[in-house]
Chains A and B, each alone.
Chain A
Amino acid sequence: MINLHNISKIYSPDIKALQQINLHIKPGEFVSIVGQSGTGKTTLVKLLIGEEQPSQGKIIIGGWDITKISQKERPILRRQIGVVFQDFKLLYKKTLLENVAFALQVCGHAPKKIKSIAPQVMKIVGLENKMHRYPQQVSGGEQQRAVIARALVHCPKILLADEPTGNLDSINTDEIIELLQKINKFGTTVILVTHNREVVNKLRKRVITLENGMIINDQAVGKYLL
């Protein structure tokens, strides 16, 4: 599904965000990428969604070499990878449902299709009763659910969650992790980038540990080591 061959990202001779990363993630896997702040976790996410290009190496996603992805191809990649960020990135002048529908609108889907898909996805994430509320009228956990719903509308093969629980309390954190597990059970590959020790240890899934831009540990059923 995802293959990274000798990936390095060097911003300047002093700033080496990632060095010699070799990684293979199988379809349907649930992988946690852990590490302290500044170890290159977010750079890795940026490389996977084509926001940045590696200085060295090759990235292949689903057989598609995205190492030197063009501006034209980038939207196609983004429709195949759902992304969830810590800061939600919701539009506060739109309701939760409208936020989800917006993702379909900007990709040119028909209104009929949007009307049918968006509420369904809201139901999957458990927001069917709050979908007409604005982001500021719901809790952080519910906002993050709406973000996950938005990431799911394109039925992506991969869901990338970069610190999705960073702004949430423990109850909401558990709910979001449960939701990610549920999505993973449907067959979506989930990559969870986090530094939440409890979450990682509770999951009992594959854990990749980064330190100073390098993979120092990759365990099939791992724990937070740092």
Chain B
Amino acid sequence: MFLLSFFRVIKFSLQDISRNIWLSLVTIIIIILALVSINLLLVVKVISSTAIDAVKEKIDISLYLKSEAEESKILALKAKVSNLVQVEDVKYVPKQIALESFKQKHKDNPEILQALIELGKNPLSPSLVIKPKDVNQYDELIANLNKIDDDIIESRNFDDRKVVLEKINSITNKVSEVGMFISIIFVFITLLVVYNAIRVTIYTHRTEIGIMKLVGASNWFIRAPYLVSSLAYTLIGISATVVIFYLFLSLLQPYLEAFFIGYNFNIITYFNSHFLLIFGSEFLVATLINFFASLVAVNKYSKV
């Protein structure tokens, strides 16, 4: 008997959706808008964190040494710097290698190359390229490097890339905040629209509900079709969001590839590997919200 009633509930629910097709469509579209805005926010987060990682990878500190510094002293200094807790890695760049990489970097600039030839000697100094362990310890590392007093150190080039990083972080946070605000608005609108859709459906079915009550239909049998409808709205909404969003991602991917050259970044792969977590949790949350809105509407308006 329960199974039979369950199938009848599904049947009545599908009838409700098809008989109020425009209202159903509006409800589904609002759900899609809310989910797309949330996923867009996620894309922004993924892209910005990848960009920050890329910038982090590029952050290093160069310690320029005197041209005539002895190899043994340089290696001793390298060991000293490596021992600092904030240091991940130290790379020694001899002046010859520095010159080669300089030539490589400016291979398309004949004026610079010509100037080098005219100079007749290697003007570059050997250096120690220091990679910090954590960008947040950047200040401490610079302070420690400043404490090292060694006469082979010619100059300390501490490009303050941290400012750039902070700026990116601040932009990302602002984008996240705005995205979160938009998402909350959409979630709120979804809540209202679903609530209203169910309320209007109940209003149009008040005679039927009244008759159901009159002939002894149980309360759950009267309410269940509306709750099933809300579940169906969510299911259709999330499925449509998946289709629309993957189309959007496939259009976005070529631009991201061009932007993150050499970083092997693929937003589609990211969404594929987190599919269940992202869309599963969105489905759960949307179902809970819609179910809650429907439950309130059903309890309030099914008392015909």
Contact = CB atoms under 8 A, between A and B. Distances in A.
Contact of A108 (B210, B211, B214, B221): B221
B216 A107 contact: yes
A91 B207 contact: yes
A75 B1 contact: no
Give the most central of B1, B5, B211, B219: most A CB within 10 Å. B211
A150 interface: yes
Contacts of B210: 89
Nearest to B15: A93
Nearest to B219: A71
B218 interface: yes
Given A108-B5, A110-B4, A89 B214 contact: yes
Contacts of B221: 106, 108
B211 A78 contact: no
Contact of A154 (B4, B207, B212, B216): B216
Interface residues of B, number: 19
Contact of A150 (B215, B217, B218): B215
B216 A75 contact: yes
B134 interface: no
Nearest to A87: B207
B219 A72 contact: yes
B53 to A, nearest CB: 58
Contacts of A107: 215-218
A132 to B, nearest CB: 19
B13 to A, nearest CB: 14
A199 interface: no
A105 interface: yes
B95 interface: no
A177 to B, nearest CB: 22
Contacts of B212: 106
A154 B215 CA distance: 9
Contacts of B214: 49, 78, 83, 89
Contact of B207 (A72, A76, A89, A108): A89
B213 interface: yes
B216 A102 contact: no
B216 A105 contact: no
Interface in B105-157: none
Give the most central of B4, B207, B212, B216: most A CB within 10 Å. B216
Interface of B: 1-2, 4-5, 8, 207-208, 210-219, 221-222
Interface of A: 49, 71-72, 74-79, 83, 89-91, 102-103, 105-108, 110-111, 150, 154
15 contacts: A71-B219, A74-B213, A75-B216, A75-B218, A76-B216, A77-B216, A78-B213, A78-B216, A79-B215, A102-B211, A105-B8, A106-B215, A106-B216, A107-B217, A110-B4
Given A72-B219, A90-B211, A107-B218, 16 more contacts: A71-B219, A72-B218, A75-B218, A78-B213, A78-B214, A78-B215, A83-B214, A89-B210, A89-B214, A103-B211, A105-B8, A106-B216, A107-B215, A107-B217, A108-B2, A111-B4
The 5 closest A-B pairs by CB, nearest first: A106-B217, A79-B216, A78-B216, A103-B215, A108-B5
